[in-house]
């Protein structure tokens, strides 16, 4: 068995995987929309095209390489489409923004900026919690 990803693994519970699926990197011939961040994938840009069968119905999903790098770096045991960024944000909040720098190294520059924003928001939330509250006299 390979080494488990030790970079702040995000676990998504209650997930039954597809009956069958395939995923491959494609070069966009027409605009697509990333199902995670909503960014438009431009013609000529690479992205992951994923198709899966759930309970007899086929679904397809496009993921930009930025969101794919987040998923590959932080999700150790499955994920749910369209929830990756929200699940990561919740996880970073639960860790009080404490993510090792080596966990950030494999991210694309755009993904790194997004994750750093999440970390900074978690730190800001901690600072807000540490502020004394005014008491009424």
Higher pLDDT, 59 or 130: 59
Domain count, the chain: 1
Q: Kindly report the CATH number assigned to the domain that includes residue 48.
A: 3.30.1740
Q: Is residue 114 part of a domain?
A: yes
Q: Is residue 49 part of a domain?
A: yes
CB-facing half-sphere around the CA of 38: CA atoms within 13 A: 3
Question: What does the alpha-carbon distance between residue 100 and residue 40 come to, in Å, rounded to a whole number?
Answer: 30
Q: Is residue 68 part of a domain?
A: yes
Q: Is residue 8 part of a domain?
A: no
- Domain of residue 65, residue span: 20-130
66-107 pLDDT, tens digit each: 999 999 999 988 888 899 999 999 999 999 999 988 889 999
Beta bridge partners of 53: 20, 58
Coil, strand or helix: which one is 17?
coil
């Amino acid at each position: 068995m390979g080494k488990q990803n030790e970079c702040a693994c995000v676990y998504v519970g209650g997930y039954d995987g597809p009956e069958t699926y395939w995923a491959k990197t494609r070069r966009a011939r027409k605009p697509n929309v990333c199902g995670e961040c909503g960014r438009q994938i431009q013609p000529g840009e690479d992205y992951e095209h994923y198709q899966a069968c759930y309970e007899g119905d086929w679904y397809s999903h496009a993921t930009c390489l930025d969101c794919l790098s987040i998923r590959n770096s932080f999700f150790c045991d499955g994920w749910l489409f369209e929830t990756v960024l929200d699940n990561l944000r919740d996880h970073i909040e639960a860790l009080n923004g404490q993510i090792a720098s080596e966990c950030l190294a494999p991210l694309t520059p755009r993904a790194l900026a997004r994750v750093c924003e999440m970390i900074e928001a978690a730190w800001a939330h901690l600072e807000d919690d540490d502020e004394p509250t005014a008491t009424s006299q």
